């Protein structure tokens, strides 16, 4: 199944739980067959130096990660252009991961939570809007084999896009995809059973031979399309702020 879609939707559920209860509840199963997410109430850093992913699993994870992505503005430069509204009016906080060189900014009021997945093999950092848990951003760090030297190791952006959307019984739509700033970037919507339609934006990048880094920001489609709402501008700005500068 599409592993990253499952991770994404599980993250949404856990993020919602965190917003209400200040902790993530573990889940033993999911309709997409994903590994459960869990975390304690206190944030704790976990190492991403666990056993690398197998090639097939990594490809599936990467393609699925694209399923957690988005960009609704269309066109190449729009993928990473910073909306003026954010630059002028919204205070931000910046997350920096020194091990991978990944960084991004989100609104200063968003709350952070960190969790390990699969016994520490993967690391998930979540930032959530405390006023609306459906509006959030998260970055997933997944170890890869040493022979993964570029995103091309997973195939072209079209190859990866073919694995991005969930099964046909889950309504979804790919809106845009591009290769920018060393990342594969995907824009799409997805609707899970019992959940509102979501708009997601993801940048998919690689620290050669060590770590696959997937950054996603999302909100509900209703908020994204509301011209009076700032959600669309926030998502675009979150993605625009993402950078990966691996240490030399």
Taking alpha carbons only, the member of 218, 78, 75 closest to residue 136 is 218
CB 155 within 8 A of CB 133: no
pLDDT of residue 155: 87
* Secondary structure (DSSP) of 76-103: TGGGGPPPHHHHHH--EEEEEETTTTEE
- Residue 128: strand pairing partners: 111, 136
What CATH number is given for 3-244 in this structure?
3.40.1000.10
CA dist 168 and 159 (Å) reads 18
pLDDT of residue 210: 94
pLDDT of residue 217: 94
Measure CA 196 to chain center: 18
CA dist 217 and 202 (Å) reads 7
CB 62 within 8 A of CB 2: no
pTM score = 0.73
pLDDT of residue 120: 67
pLDDT of residue 97: 96
Cα angle, residue 18 at apex, residues 36 and 71 outer, rounded to 5°: 75
pLDDT of residue 193: 85
Per-block average pLDDT, block size 10, for the chain (248 residues)? 46 48 35 26 35 51 42 35 52 96 97 77 90 93 92 86 75 92 90 90 92 93 96 95 92
For residue 155, what are its two tokens? 């195939």
């Amino acid at each position: 199944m599409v592993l990253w879609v499952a991770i994404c939707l599980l993250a949404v559920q856990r993020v919602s739980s965190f917003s209400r209860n200040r902790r993530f509840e573990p889940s033993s199963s999911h309709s997409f067959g994903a590994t459960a997410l869990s975390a304690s109430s206190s944030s704790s850093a976990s190492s991403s130096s666990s056993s690398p992913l197998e090639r097939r699993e990594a490809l599936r994870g990467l393609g699925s990660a694209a399923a957690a992505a988005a960009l609704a503005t269309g066109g190449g430069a729009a993928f990473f252009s910073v909306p003026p509204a954010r630059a002028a009016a919204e205070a931000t906080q910046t997350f920096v991961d020194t091990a991978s060189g990944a960084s991004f900014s989100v609104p200063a009021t968003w709350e952070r939570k960190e969790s390990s997945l699969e016994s520490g093999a993967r690391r998930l950092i979540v930032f959530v809007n405390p006023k609306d848990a459906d509006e959030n951003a998260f970055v997933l760090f997944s170890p890869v084999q040493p022979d993964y030297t570029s995103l091309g190791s997973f195939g072209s952006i079209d190859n990866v896009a073919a694995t991005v959307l969930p099964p046909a019984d889950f309504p979804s739509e790919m809106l845009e995809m591009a290769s920018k700033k060393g990342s594969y970037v995907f824009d799409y919507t997805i609707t899970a059973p019992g959940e509102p339609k979501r708009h997601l934006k993801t940048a998919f990048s690689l620290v050669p031979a060590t770590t696959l880094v997937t950054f996603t920001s999302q909100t509900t489609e209703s908020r994204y399309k509301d011209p009076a709402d700032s959600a669309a501008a926030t998502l675009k700005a979150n993605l625009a702020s993402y950078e990966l500068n691996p240490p030399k």
